[in-house]
Structure 1
């Protein structure tokens, strides 16, 4: 029995691997890279920097280049603790980055299949479930954002382990929950991890068979060990949230942005209704016109197509299988949640604990895809076990296909009339684009349903006795593969890694180079490239966020998640085009100005600043402005509270005034000291400064003052105070002193200790149980003759 199960598992894995290899053949065989949207703008440059740090044996906990510095582990999105980072140690960066994406997609499919097996599906049903999730629009589209893709890759494995732990029990399965939970959390999406744990618990209560009391206890154990396993990731994030942008009240735009529009639910079964008419274009005019708002101009992902065939099989399976029916009901509830304020859930969530701190509800479409995928496996099993029911399925699917065929005929034969019917205002061109999408999408879905109906009818007639499972899986593969192959976008890696003359010039200077890039991305500079390719090339050439991280150049503009709350408050009070002037207060003395150096005045730089043509090809200039040093002894000082400090840095001429504001009392008799401060070691999480002063002085370090930093003066602990709203300050006595600042991610070590303890205890219990089983199966030793 065990060997048969293993053979079935191998067959499922082989089928999924084959479909994966064919679908991603352009990526596997070519040099194109996954650079669309955040994959190229954020993940590629930041992971290049992380890879370089890992190769020299250093786990980066602090990123000094984003803004004035941000946490890496506590920030979550960069996934520095995920095991896939090992790829950067054994392969060239571009190959490792691509492998991260591709292996995540394959892992998502294999995990969905493993979960389906735990739900009782046959190998055929498991293969269908894995394929339906792996090639779904949401998973394939998430190749543009490694945070969500990596989390999605592990979530089904967590559900599979949790189901086994809730049904079979035992420390071994709880140990599997611990590992799967860590992998899910380490992907970088804490909301996705929390939802996966919640679903794992709900699964134990609603789907697993057994007495209610036992199910309740095991559900609680699943949650406990899942939390312990993810502690090294989750605890630092929870510690950072109160100090991050997530602690601030959401603006109206935050609640309205990135929610699934009800019209887009149609795309679950009809592909690409609202896609852009220009492949690779970030802006989708059709989506914005019909399903957008003032805050949402592009969809969360390119495609959410779950497959007309897969959804039909899920509905078929839910008719008879109670577990599949409950999965389908959960999917409906989560679909309502994904609509956010469009259907009332967003308003409800704002009044609830924990949920009120979430945003971007559209990402829940991942679960709206995974749950029906598992139910589709039940549909396949039901059809193969009861071939006569194939007639009923063929009739229902054929009728649905006929309706979609009618929509295709209307769009194909009378496009003008249909365009006038769906037109909004005077947007004729967008209406015509929507009709073209309807023609293509409805036609593709109708063909898929026709194929499914034909296969179901052949199974019912006994014509596919041995090939029925393969035929059903092939229909799913063709349906999803043909529709979602455009949901992943490849681009030449050179657009984000070509040389930057600006960066080379700035790095030639001593210290940490810091720039401000207040002018917009200019993709029109390279009309021969797709919009995003030209935009990312512009960022790479100008040290824009987050390309600056790979270039090891600081930029006040940071493109990442969970920025320091104070930086967000400061930016909300300033005009992006004039932020350069106050930035000088914190040592940002270089401004990248495109086109003409005369534009520097628009950024608030006084006329006459030094301008250097640093990149003639753009062209782009580096314009200098007087700026305070990164390390210095404060001059004239005033005390203020947090609000007063913010008003000081926003006041015109704050940097040029020579004054500083400290949040706390200024010692009686304080006078500006005479002396100097010098940075002698800069190692990311560790700074060493020597200071000499003729009187008590405030050492100002123009880096972000955040939780996790500590300071010593001559080896003795010293407090850190907020200076000039964003920077750090350390009081030092008169004389010569050595000041050391260290950053340690709050709760990282404690979280690692909790996870290690849970792993050791569960491992010991699992080994003990295994020994007892082996001893019991061996029986009493026979007496000697």
Structure 2
């Protein structure tokens, strides 16, 4: 037992060192783990005449627009002693806890709440990867992996493709719980009892409150598959099944405080209808994503959207790096260790389970029938993005790699047929690298054609098309041949190492260490810098356009951007409000109101659709009614007479609008928004000279309740989107509070479930203490009888 604990401590220290190396740049003073430099591609963030800016990773827009502003909002509200129930900065107001991805209850986000902003972003990410590695190590040890195998699993899983590409999204926060959920599932089935059920409950809750429903579902499906696998092999199924079911139920109950509000929010949004429309019927075949599977071996084979990389995937009609390279677990893992495990450790029950997870995950992620059809036929799962099943691929490959490295430690080698296949692959990659420069004319032609039709709403000038073509072709010329040559070298080096291990015993003995080091080097080469670290000055930069909006907008007034300027939620980063939202779940009421603002399209209904000057002109009355006071664009409006004034700020243009504020009084008198208002508690001070109506231009929702001078009043709908209340004459105080009943009931259920899970965890210890007390008392009484 002492040796096991000592090994765990040593492993934890080594893993922390690896995590520190991985985040060496982001953890330095003055640096921030953030892709916020992607904002500098907008005119709003540039000075006139400044050259075009290329960000570190153009793909990472969602963390900048959604998750960072939400985390900062969570932090501010929780530090003020308030639960962030309502977000007044997006979509004329929207539920915040209920959007799911805000992850208010994720325990790892306590580091952000308690730590320094934005430094805590890097420490939170590092803590998550360390936690994932520790869970992988413990799971591998519980499955009786050898020393090399459990260290391989624990050190490699945190840096696998899936956890790294989705690190700054709520996806990785849910995925890091996968080994812990499987560990708790195993314990509930092997050692059924209250303690095992309690441990499983907290693991399930951790998955569900992490902030991503789809990844949580994939993690829970993996747990269900393991439970079914174990129960099918068990002689006594009743007690294990009860313990496992109780743990799952309690875990869902603990997470009810997030799950229930999200479920209610979904009923008010068109997202499910849109998702069903986007997914074909389950019986209809879809085109398999076979080409993207190559990224499981060479993740940058189609480039990426990182600075200096070509974006070949877009030109070939493939998905981006995040969707295609999630299954990457190292080249040696894929072509050497996993096949070695499949052959050499095939009698182990865990091997069969891992191979099943690998097959289902790969076929689901890359749309290969019949698994793809089966998943689309399932309720809920059928409308999810199953491309993210690359999590299963990365997990299964990593743990198969652990079994394979144990086989290598026992002296088992791959067959020569495998090494000849590696040599052939290496030679093919080398020949392809040599042929890339000869394809330059074709690449120029295709790139020019792509940019000419890329954005019909904002057509590019010929000079800009030429610049982008040269940038992409140059990136292909500079990046792709060296990368393919490096891949060829890796294949040939592994083949040479395998042959050397056959000939030299000392190489065979060193093989596990060599393969572990090669895999870690491969993973680090892929992942370091993918999620960039930037200077704090870049993270906190406030451009002239934002500064001017801060000066010119009255409190409560909103702004919007045209085209690519100020996408939804950018303003929230600076404490300003946008009439649009940027979320996968949006209120249908708000989308209906702003429908004229967006260009007609076949895209799903969301605030991410294109806004142009013509659509702004059509939607102008609704924008004024929504307290929009400014419109920002890269070009001045073609009809300046529609606006009160036009001015330039930096390299952007601001068109100002007159109109009502966030709070008005329809009737004699005036209404003023009190500075004592908070996001979920609006206070209006009314000086009414007669009967009237107070209009609050915040999205109506059933969770709002109103009082006038302490008396409950009915909230009416103003234009079927905003809120209004009747008031009499004289001074009045109108108070609105967002307190949805569903959250109250969910909080009660969560507290009761957490208490039950906590009692289950401590119940065994309490029983032992009680038993010891009883036995001790009996012995005391016996001694007293004998002495008497």
TM range (shorter): 0.7 to 0.9
Q: CA RMSD in A?
A: 3.7
Q: Is 1:440 aligned to residue 486 of structure 2?
A: no
Note if 1:114 corresponds to 2:138.
yes
Number of the residue aligned with 2:210:
187
Partner of 2:380: 354
**Distance 1:697-1:254 versus aligned 2 partners, 3 A rule:** farther
Q: Does 1:592 align with 2:632?
A: yes
- How far is 1:195 from its partner? 2.1
The residue number in structure 2 matching 1:174 is 197
What pairs with 1:353-372 in structure 2 (closer than 5 Å)? 353-358=379-384, 360-372=385-397
Q: Which residue of structure 1 lines up, in the alignment, with residue 416 of structure 2?
A: 395
Structure 2 Cα separation of the partners of residues 172 and 232 of structure 1: 23
Contact residue 61 and residue 73 of structure 1 kept, 8 A: yes
Structure 1 pair 214–679 and aligned structure 2 pair: CA distance change class (3 A): same
Structure 1 residues not aligned, in runs of 5+:
523-538, 635-672
Does the aligned pair in 1 maintain the 2:301–2:484 contact within 8 Å?
A: yes
Is 2:536 the counterpart of 1:475? no
Provide closer, same or farther for how the CA distance between residues 381 and 348 of structure 1 changes in structure 2, counting only shifts above 3 A: closer
Q: TM-score, normalised by structure 1?
A: 0.80
Q: What residue is the counterpart of 2:658 in the other structure?
A: 626
- The answer on whether the counterparts of 2:78 and 2:113 sit within 8 Å (CA) in structure 1 is yes
Shift in Å, 1:326 = 1.8
- Structure 2: runs of 5 or more not aligned: 36-59, 450-468, 599-610
SS of the residue 2:255 aligns to: helix
Matched, 1:50 2:50: no
Q: Which residue of 1 aligns with 2:354?
A: 327
Aligned to 2:328: 305
In structure 2, relative to structure 1, the CA distance for the partners of 1:170 and 1:3 (3 Å cut) is: farther
Residue aligned with 1:25, SS: coil
1:20-59 mapped onto 2 (5 Å cutoff): 20-29=19-28, 31-36=30-35, 37=60, 38-59=62-83
SS at match of 2:97: coil
* Partner SS state of residue 590, structure 1: strand
- The aligned counterpart of 2:460 is none
Q: Tell me, in whole angstroms, the C-alpha distance in 1 between the residues paired with 2:226 and 2:17.
A: 30
For the structure 1 residues 465 and 304, does the alpha-carbon distance in structure 2 shift closer, same or farther, using more than 3 Å as the test? Answer: closer
Decide which of 72, 93, 105 is 2:129's aligned counterpart: 105
Q: Which residue of 2 aligns with 1:760?
A: 755
Over 3 Å counting, the alpha-carbon distance change for 1:315 and 1:302 in structure 2 is closer
Distance 1:380 1:456 in 2: 17
Contact 1:394 1:454 in 2 (8 A): no
Check if 1:609 corresponds to 2:644: yes
1:88 paired to 2:133: no
Give matches, 1:236-255, under 5 Å: 236-250=261-275
Inter-partner Cα distance in structure 2 for 1:764 and 1:243:
37
* Conserved 8 A contact 2:630-2:655: yes
Asked if 1:275 corresponds to 2:303, the answer is yes
Does residue 205 of the first structure (1) align with residue 228 of the second (2)? Answer: yes
Asked whether the equivalents of residues 129 and 377 of structure 1 are also in contact (C-alpha less than 8 Å), the reply is yes
- String of CA shifts for 1:204-260, please: whole Å, max 9, x gaps: 11146523444433432332122123222212211211113424434866879x998
Moved more, 228-237 or 744-753: 744-753
**Shift in CA distance, 612/163, structure 1 to aligned 2, threshold 3 Å:** same
Q: Does residue 583 of structure 1 match 2:623?
A: yes
Separation (CA, whole Å) in 1 of partners of 2:511 and 2:179: 26
Indicate whether 1:557 and 2:552 are aligned: no
Counterpart of 1:645?
A: none
Is residue 405 of structure 1 aligned with residue 426 of structure 2? Answer: yes
Q: How far apart are the structure 1 equivalents of 2:206 and 2:308?
A: 31
Contact 1:201 1:222 in 2 (8 A): no
Q: CA deviation at 1:201?
A: 2.0
Determine if contact 1:49/1:550 at 8 Å carries over to the other structure: no
The 1:689/1:260 distance shift into structure 2, 3 A limit, reads farther
Query: Given that residues 313 and 320 in structure 2 are in contact (C-alpha distance below 8 angstroms), is that contact kept between their aligned partners in structure 1?
Result: yes
Q: Are the equivalent residues in 1 in contact too, given 2:433–2:484 (CA < 8 A)?
A: no
Structure 1 pair 325/148, CA: closer, same or farther in 2 (3 Å)?
same
Deviation at 1:268, TM superposition (A): 0.5
For 1:154-173, list aligned pairs within 5 A: 154-173=177-196
SS in 2 for 1:689: strand
1:577-608 per-residue CA deviation (whole Å, 9 max, x = no partner) reads: 2336121111112222445xxx2345xx6346
* 8 Å CA contact 1:395, 1:453 repeated in 2: no
C-alpha distance in 1 between matches for 2:444 and 2:186: 48
The question of whether the paired residues in 2 share the 8 Å contact of 1:243 and 1:706 is answered with: no
* In structure 1, C-alpha distance between the alignment counterparts of 2:651 and 2:442, rounded to whole Å: 47
* Alignment partner of 1:721 out of 716, 728, 734: 716
The answer to whether the aligner puts 1:16 opposite 2:1 as a matched pair is no
Cα 1:87/1:398, change in 2 over 3 Å = same
What secondary structure, in the 3-state scheme, does the structure 2 residue paired with 1:93 have?
coil
Secondary structure of 1:305's aligned partner: coil
Are the structure 2 counterparts of residues 316 and 62 from structure 1 closer, same or farther at C-alpha, using a change threshold of 3 Å? same
- Cα contact 2:295–2:324 (8 A) shared by 1: no
The DSSP-based 3-state class of the residue aligned with 1:626 is coil
- Residue 730 of structure 1 pairs with residue 735 of structure 2: no
CA 1:356 to 1:414, structure 2 compared with 1: closer, same or farther past 3 Å?
Answer: closer
CA contact (8 A) 1:69 1:703 kept: yes
Give the equivalent residue in structure 1 for 2:562.
519
Q: How far, CA to CA, are the matches of 1:51 and 1:3 in structure 2?
A: 40
CA contact (8 A) 1:272 1:305 kept: no
**Residue 661 (structure 1) aligns with:** none
Assess, with a 3 A threshold, how the Cα gap between structure 1 residues 364 and 718 changes in structure 2: closer, same or farther: farther
Q: What is the count of residue pairs matched by the alignment?
A: 705
Matches within 5 A, 1:67-78: 67-78=91-102
Q: Is the 8 A contact 1:317 1:325 kept in 2?
A: no
Comparing 190-199 with 435-444, which one deviates more in the overlay? 435-444
Tell me, yes or no, if structure 1 residue 707 matches structure 2 residue 702.
Answer: yes
Shift in Å at residue 96 of structure 1?
A: 0.8
Q: Render the CA deviation track for 1:417-457: whole Å, top value 9, x for unaligned.
A: 78899999798988997796376247437526744873797
2-structure distance, mates of 1:731, 1:452: 80
- Separation in 1 of the partners of 2:338 and 2:699? 51
Evaluate the alpha carbon distance shift between residue 562 and residue 425 of structure 1 in structure 2; reply closer, same or farther with a 3 A threshold: closer
Distance 2:685 2:366 in 1: 56
SS in 2 for 1:628: coil
Post-superposition shift, 1:13? 2.3
Question: Who is 1:639 aligned against?
Answer: none
Q: CA deviation at 1:93?
A: 0.7
Assess, with a 3 A threshold, how the Cα gap between structure 1 residues 213 and 40 changes in structure 2: closer, same or farther. same
Q: Pick which of 580-589 and 440-449 moved more.
A: 440-449
Contact 2:201–2:251 (CA under 8 A) maintained in structure 1: yes
Assess if the C-alpha contact under 8 Å between 1:704 and 1:728 holds in 2.
yes
Q: Name the counterpart of 2:601.
A: none
Whole-angstrom CA distance in 1 between matches of 2:265 and 2:187: 34
Give the secondary structure class of the aligned counterpart of 1:606: helix
Aligned residue for 2:316, secondary structure, equals helix
TM-score by length of structure 2 reads: 0.80
What do the CA deviations read for 1:708-731 (whole angstroms, capped 9, x no partner)? 212233433333333223212334
Cα 1:726–1:267 shift into 2, 3 Å: same
Aligned match of 1:138 = 162
Structure 2 CA distance for partners of 1:49 and 1:625, relative to 1, 3 Å: same
